[in-house]
Structure 1
């Protein structure tokens, strides 16, 4: 019997969706497309409430994420930890996937489990290019998250004053970040920078 005439086995939706999650995590584009063709829901939910796209994003599986997004995956769908592909890519500096989500309807106002925007953890981690992308996309720079921090405050409090944090603080200030906003202890970003000995950051914050 030739390969062309070999009978194909019917695949259940459950099997197709299991294959889709496996392919998404493994960055297997052909596997993603095959599973979708076999009837897997592109918005299926797996462990932790993750969609295939969130699964691919958390594995930094760029090719698989791209295939899913091009096939119509919701870039704003959140898992049980309130991570969407957009929010997670922004928080972790996954710039290729972040760009894909922004090109396909990412909600720049969306909030993570801490009540913060994607810009806040990006600033906390000192991801300069990610911060630049998020600012350009219109993510609010003065949003205050549930613990009481802005992106500017987190760049200072969780940063180390190194050049990458100087870059991030400069970007935030240029984008209109308000250095007078106090944290939940009543301190400004400048006061926090001075307390931590972050001289270059403090100089930026003190500039008129």
Structure 2
């Protein structure tokens, strides 16, 4: 079979097709960092090119600089045929390099068809959204917030909201502050979610204009009102609990997102910056991890953990002298700490 694409020789002279093919498969054609023609072909839905590259050594497990594999690229654009083909070749349906699974990316890009394909291949749904798939209660009985409250409050889960409603989730269960899922969606100005929730939501007494536009207008006005101090504390504790649980499940992208929401909601907090720094480190985001570590050190200069967070971020960035300096600072603040001593050896 002839290649379904044509390579041009570099200006420095002729280059064999075999060398160019290897460069393409390795993502080394000076395009987007780490993005290979295998990935771009999957993204465009070009099944013949995808098959050709796979047959010539295309790596199903290779990720680009943002942690996206060829499967991620296919599902994000709704390339159903390519998605089915890749899954048939053995790529793990839940492959995740710290930036989210293919199901997560398909969902936030609102690709219903590839979401269904992934679910049919038994993709794991984020447990804080659709834990009922594993037999838990669809309304999250006994949990801090219902799956609908979490999904509408955080955004990026429009497709999951539809699935929750079909499974019988109750949209009239409020959050800890008494806000219904439809109000949370409206506060984010997500009309699509409001339209899904509206027919199943009981009228809210203080919303005078009970319509989709009326709910969105009401929610925006309510959002501008300052929250009292006690409510801020309750919300901070609830969101931090969600983030901590996501981290323990190794859902680092989600945990980082929620820690950011807590910081935006409740203000600067050294522990939250430290936790988000660790999430970003796990995701391979050295610059983000370092930024949060610097924030920790500014807020609490005598905290050894802040120095340690800075050191690990420098190590990820291969800035070894700066990492050593930060570890020495940590050692001065916490002499005898085994973890710090081990890193300094």
Q: With structure 2 as the length reference, what TM-score do the two structures score?
A: 0.37
**Is there any run of 5+ residues in structure 2 with no aligned partner, and where?**
3-16, 27-35, 130-146, 216-345
Corresponding position of 2:116: 99
Corresponding position of 2:210: 199
Q: With structure 1 as the length reference, what TM-score do the two structures score?
A: 0.57
Q: 1:78 to 1:154 in 2, by over 3 A?
A: farther
Listed as ranges, the matches of 1:164-175 within 5 Å are 165-170=194-199
**2 CA distance for matches of 1:151 and 1:135?**
11
Matched, 1:16 2:25: yes
Q: 1:137 to 1:9 in 2, by over 3 A?
A: farther
**1 CA distance for matches of 2:122 and 2:78?**
19
RMSD: 4.6
Corresponding position of 1:40: 58
**1 CA distance for matches of 2:47 and 2:110?**
22
Listed as ranges, the matches of 1:40-189 within 5 Å are 40-78=58-96, 82-110=99-127, 120=151, 124=155, 127=158, 131-136=161-166, 152-159=182-189, 165-170=194-199
Q: CA deviation at 1:110?
A: 4.7
Deviation by residue 1:143-177 (Cα, 9 ceiling, x = unmatched): x8xxxx985553232246x6862432555x6xxxx
**2 CA distance for matches of 1:63 and 1:107?**
21
Does the CA contact (< 8 Å) of 2:43 and 2:77 recur in 1?
yes
Q: 1:22 to 1:124 in 2, by over 3 A?
A: closer
Following TM superposition, the consecutive aligned residue runs of length 4 or more in structure 1 with deviations greater than 6 angstroms are: none
Between structures 1 and 2, the one with greater helix share:
2
Does the CA contact (< 8 Å) of 1:126 and 1:164 recur in 2?
no
Q: CA deviation at 1:94?
A: 0.8
Query: Which is greater in Rg?
Result: 2
Q: How many residues were matched structurally?
A: 169
| Greater RCO (Cα-Cα under 8 Å, separation 6 or more) | 1
**2 CA distance for matches of 1:126 and 1:169?**
17
